[in-house]
């Protein structure tokens, strides 16, 4: 078999001639997949979408949704992620962020494999699990259930943790969790979401000041009633979906 360098070194070839002779399938390449942690909030808890594997390897185990790059359908890496997200949830404009790429000889029994981990944030009301095109078994798992209740296939426990860690880190200095809420929300609802991800309480005044001073939300003019004093409703502006605050949330003194 050719080594990678044989063909390319023939300097007498033009690049065009080289490409004509080149056949990618002569070379051994690792398996290449994209996996994603799709987060949402349900019943005041952070949840992640899991899919039961219908195929070998790891058949019957829970895993993060994902799959192979479609060399025809997908133009870029992120297209694979978007396509998978659409297939499972019907959503096509989430907050989407690449986290880390994992590759090793052993992570998949089929051989050397590489996966790019993404995470997505979606508003819980946007979820339409029924619109799952693939008729696979799907579950929203509360994050504390991983890996005990849901011990994931391959190294997906690790991928999940990397995504979750990234999210928890970013709560401290970005407005990212705002993407977990529907269009209209109250400041208290927003604070609650931050607290859920952070795993601890935030001081009310500090939080409100932080958000208001950042100019990332605007009043819609509506109020949310039902629970005692009505609360003003807000919506995010464009900048607010990924705003970086000047300082971290510091936590209790």
Partner DNA sequence: TTGACATAGTGTCACAGAGCCACTATCATA
Partner DNA sequence: TATGATAGTGGCTCTGTGACACTATGTCAA
Binding site for a copy of itself (CB under 8 A): 4-5, 7-11, 13, 15, 18-19, 22, 24-25, 27-32, 54-59, 67-69, 71, 74-77, 98, 100-106, 109-112, 114, 116, 246-248, 250
Site stretch for DNA (CB under 7 A), options 2-10, 69-77, 96-104, 229-237 = 229-237
Burial class (CB in 10 A: 0-12, 13-18, 19+), 148: exposed
149 binds, options DNA, a copy of itself, none, Cβ within 5 to 8 A by partner type: none
* Interaction of residue 73 with DNA, rule CB under 7 A: no
Residue closer to DNA by CB (options 118, 185) is 185
Tokens of 221: 């003019």
What's the sign of the alpha-carbon dihedral 39, 178, 175, 241?
A: positive
Which sign, positive or negative, has the C-alpha torsion 46, 48, 52, 56? Answer: negative
Q: Which residues contact 221 (CB under 8 A, 6 or more apart)?
A: 233
| Six token digits for residue 102 | 């994992």
* Residue closer to a copy of itself, measured from CB, 77 or 141: 77
246: contact with DNA by CB under 7 A: yes
Helix or strand holding residue 186 (H, E): none
Report in angstroms the alpha-carbon separations of 22 from 9, 18, 38, 70: 12, 6, 38, 21
Contact between 170 and DNA per CB under 7 A? no
Residues linked to residue 119 through DSSP beta bridges, in sequence order: 37, 97
Instruction: Give the one entry of a copy of itself, DNA, none that residue 208 binds, where binding means its C-beta sits below a cut-off of 5 to 8 angstroms depending on kind.
Output: DNA
| 249 contact choice in DNA, a copy of itself, none (CB below 5 to 8 Å, kind-dependent) | DNA
Using CB under 7 A as the binding rule, the residues of this chain from 188 to 217 that contact DNA are: 188, 202-210, 213
Q: Which is nearer to DNA, 59 or 223 (CB)?
A: 223
DSSP 245: P
**Under the criterion CB under 7 A, does residue 221 sit at the interface with DNA?**
no
Yes or no: say if 215 and 232 are a contact pair by the CB < 8 Å rule: no
Give the whole-angstrom CA distance, residue 110 versus residue 56. Answer: 10
CB of 222 to DNA, least distance (A): 11
Q: Which is nearer to a copy of itself, 75 or 148 (CB)?
A: 75
**Which option in a copy of itself, DNA, none does residue 202 bind, with CB closer than 5 to 8 A by kind?**
DNA
End-to-end CA gap in the chain: 65
Tell me which of a copy of itself, DNA, none is bound by residue 147, counting a contact when its beta carbon lies within the kind-specific cut-off of 5 to 8 angstroms. Answer: none
| Chain positions contacting DNA, by CB under 7 A | 186-188, 202-210, 213, 225-232, 245-253
């Amino acid at each position: 078999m050719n080594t990678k360098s044989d063909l390319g070194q023939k300097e007498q070839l033009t690049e065009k001639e080289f490409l004509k002779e080149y056949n990618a399938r002569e070379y051994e390449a690792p398996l290449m997949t994209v996996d994603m942690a799709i987060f949402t909030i349900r019943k005041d808890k952070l949840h992640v979408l899991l899919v039961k594997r219908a195929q070998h390897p790891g058949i019957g185990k829970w895993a993060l949704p994902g799959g192979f790059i479609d060399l025809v359908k997908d133009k870029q890496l992120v297209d694979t992620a978007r396509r998978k997200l659409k297939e499972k949830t019907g959503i096509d404009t989430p907050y989407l962020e690449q986290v880390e790429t994992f590759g090793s000889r052993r992570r998949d029994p089929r051989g050397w494999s590489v996966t790019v981990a993404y995470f997505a944030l979606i508003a819980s009301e946007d979820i339409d699990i029924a619109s799952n095109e693939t008729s696979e078994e799907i579950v929203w798992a509360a994050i504390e259930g991983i890996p005990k209740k849901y011990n994931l296939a391959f190294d997906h426990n690790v991928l999940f943790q990397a995504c979750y860690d990234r999210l928890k880190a970013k709560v401290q200095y970005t407005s990212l969790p705002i993407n977990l809420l529907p269009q209209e929300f109250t400041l208290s609802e927003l604070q609650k979401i931050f607290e859920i991800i952070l795993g601890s309480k935030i001081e009310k005044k500090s939080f409100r000041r932080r958000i208001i001073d950042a100019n990332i939300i605007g009043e819609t003019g509506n109020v949310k009633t039902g629970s005692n004093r009505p609360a003003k409703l807000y919506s995010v502006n464009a900048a607010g979906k990924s705003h970086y605050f000047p300082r971290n949330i510091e936590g209790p003194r």
